[in-house]
């Protein structure tokens, strides 16, 4: 419910990875709207919202960034109170010009997630604008993160309550996913990891049966390509494979909650896997200069990853030529995941911190 104290938030997002940037910006928009804020989500490609959030949200207006009529309509309306620039995407100059006419505004550059030390140093710092229609204004860096000196992570107020009520057997049955009680469940949301063939072989050779739940898109394509070259992997030994359709954001959470081990990629799914509280493996987005090595190791340091979990991450992400070790679904890996979640739950979530930040800087 909107109140007289609610603000107009304009969130800008350029789609680079439909499952990442858009996923974060949609969660941000939806959670703000649920708290009574007025939200417009500006996006250059909203295609993925068709399966990610097919019902939309009454409090979120989705605007096609590339539609000239939408820009004209926005410029004709009062300027927003808050401008969120998702991941340095350079909002439309027409709207920035309108925004610059209003005193007491807040321009936030929502940055990428990292556990590296620079995040705590740069979080909240000003960035004066010297060129273009926004000249004279000041952006503020807002860094999500894993410590109390950062902006925190997106988390709905009722998330842990919903997590505690979740019944995985009922969810699997409703989605017609076959599951035997003696099967371990593993989710796979990935790019094309170098060690994927090794993982399938490990699971197939294990004494305990495993059902691999493969998400639609690149993960499914990567597994199917390997099945084509090694068809005996599927339906043989201890490994069974189920291919999933594209999932809504709530159902993606349910997938993570249902599984004993989650393979995730990018940013949005990493955060959701942390809230799930199960062992997880993160495939970090690769960079040409290998900067992702330092980023991954910084996160593993924060996580307090035991040696076996660190070794698995390095092999999964193609660091060197180490063979993929046996994945673990209990013991130290599970304890590490639950400890990480407890530490994060003790901190304010991103929306709480962002609203306070905006109020202070406006």
Question: pLDDT tens digits, the chain, 362 residues: what are they?
Answer: 455 578 999 999 998 866 788 999 999 999 999 999 999 999 999 999 999 999 999 999 999 988 999 888 988 888 899 999 999 898 888 888 888 888 778 999 999 999 999 999 999 999 999 999 989 899 999 999 999 999 999 999 999 999 999 999 999 999 999 999 899 999 999 999 989 999 999 999 988 999 999 999 999 999 999 986 555 454 457 999 999 999 999 999 999 999 999 999 989 999 999 999 999 999 987 767 666 788 999 999 999 999 999 999 999 999 878 889 999 999 999 999 999 999 999 999 999 999 999 998 76
Report yes or no on 16 lying in a domain: yes
Q: Distance between CA atoms of 345 and 355, rounded to whole angstroms?
A: 18
What residues act catalytically? Answer: 21, 267
Write out 276-291 in H/E/C secondary structure. Answer: HCCCEEEECCCCCCCH
177 and 114 both lie in a single domain: no
Domain-located, residue 17: yes
Specify whether 237 is located in the same domain as 256: yes
pLDDT of residue 232: 46
- 255 and 183, same structural domain? yes
Q: Per the domain annotation, does 111 fall within a domain?
A: yes
Query: What's the CA dihedral at 113, 357, 274, 53 to 10 degrees?
Result: -90
In which domain, by residue range, is 18 found?
Answer: 8-152+348-361
- Do 114 and 198 fall within a single domain? no
Of 214, 226, 217, 194, which Cα lies nearest the Cα of 323? Answer: 194
In a domain, 301, yes or no: yes
The reply to whether 103 and 40 lie within a common domain is yes
CA angle, residues 45, 74, 50, in degrees to nearest 5: 25
Rg from Cα positions in the chain: 21
CA dist 257 and 179 (Å) reads 15
Same domain, 17 and 105: yes
Give the pLDDT score at 128.
Answer: 92
Residues 233 and 279 reside in one and the same domain: yes
189 with 335, same domain: the answer is yes
CATH number, domain at 12? 3.40.50
Instruction: Report pLDDT for 124.
Output: 95
The predicted structure's pLDDT at residue 50:
94
Residue 263 included in any domain: yes
How large is the greatest C-alpha to C-alpha distance in the chain, in angstroms? 67
- Asked whether residue 2 is assigned to any structural domain, the reply reads no
Structural domain total, the chain: 2
pLDDT on residue 290: 64
What tokens appear for 359 in the block? 């109020």
pTM: 0.94
Domain co-membership, 303 together with 192:
yes
Q: Is residue 146 part of a domain?
A: yes
d(CA 273, CA 265): 10
Place of tokens 């993925």: 48
Q: Are residues 83 and 177 part of one domain?
A: no
175 and 104: one domain? Answer: no
Q: End-to-end distance of the chain based on CA atoms, in angstroms?
A: 23
Same domain, 39 and 185: no
C-beta separation of 32 from 63 below 8 A: no
Q: Tell me whether residue 1 is in a domain.
A: no
What pLDDT is recorded for position 230?
54
262 beta partners: 187, 280
């Amino acid at each position: 419910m909107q109140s007289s104290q609610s603000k107009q938030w304009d969130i800008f997002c350029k789609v680079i990875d439909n499952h990442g940037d858009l996923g974060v910006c949609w969660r941000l928009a939806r959670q703000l709207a649920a708290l009574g804020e007025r939200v417009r989500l500006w996006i250059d490609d909203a295609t993925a919202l068709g399966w990610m959030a097919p019902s939309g949200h009454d409090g979120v207006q989705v605007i096609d960034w590339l539609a000239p009529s939408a820009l004209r309509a926005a410029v004709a309306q009062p300027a927003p109170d808050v401008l969120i620039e998702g991941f340095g995407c350079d909002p439309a100059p027409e709207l920035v010009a309108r925004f610059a006419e209003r005193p007491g505004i807040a321009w936030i550059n929502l940055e990428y997630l990292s556990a590296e030390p620079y995040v705590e140093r740069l979080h909240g710092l000003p960035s004066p604008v010297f060129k273009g229609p926004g000249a004279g204004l000041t952006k503020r860096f807002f860094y999500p993160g894993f410590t109390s000196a950062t902006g925190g992570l997106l988390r709905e107020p009722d998330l842990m309550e919903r997590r505690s009520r979740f019944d995985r057997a009922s969810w699997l049955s409703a989605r017609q996913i076959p599951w035997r009680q003696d099967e371990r469940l593993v989710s796979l949301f990935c790019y094309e990891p170098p060690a994927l063939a090794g993982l399938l072989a490990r699971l197939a050779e294990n004494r305990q049966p495993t059902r691999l739940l493969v998400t639609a898109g690149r993960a499914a394509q990567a597994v199917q390509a390997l099945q084509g070259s090694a068809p005996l992997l599927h339906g043989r030994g201890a490994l069974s494979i189920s291919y999933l359709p594209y999932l809504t954001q709530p159902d993606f959470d349910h997938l993570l909650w249902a599984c004993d081990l989650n393979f995730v990629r990018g940013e949005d799914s990493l955060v959701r896997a942390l809230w799930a509280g199960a062992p997880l493996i993160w495939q970090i987005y690769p960079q040409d200069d290998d900067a992702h090595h330092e980023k991954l190791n910084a996160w593993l340091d924060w996580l307090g990853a035991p040696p076996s979990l660190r070794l698995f991450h390095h092999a999964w992400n193609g660091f060197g030529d180490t063979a993929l070790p046996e994945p673990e679904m209990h013991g130290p890996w599970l304890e590490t995941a639950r400890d990480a979640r407890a530490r994060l739950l003790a901190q304010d979530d991103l929306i709480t911190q962002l609203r306070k930040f905006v109020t202070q800087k406006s």
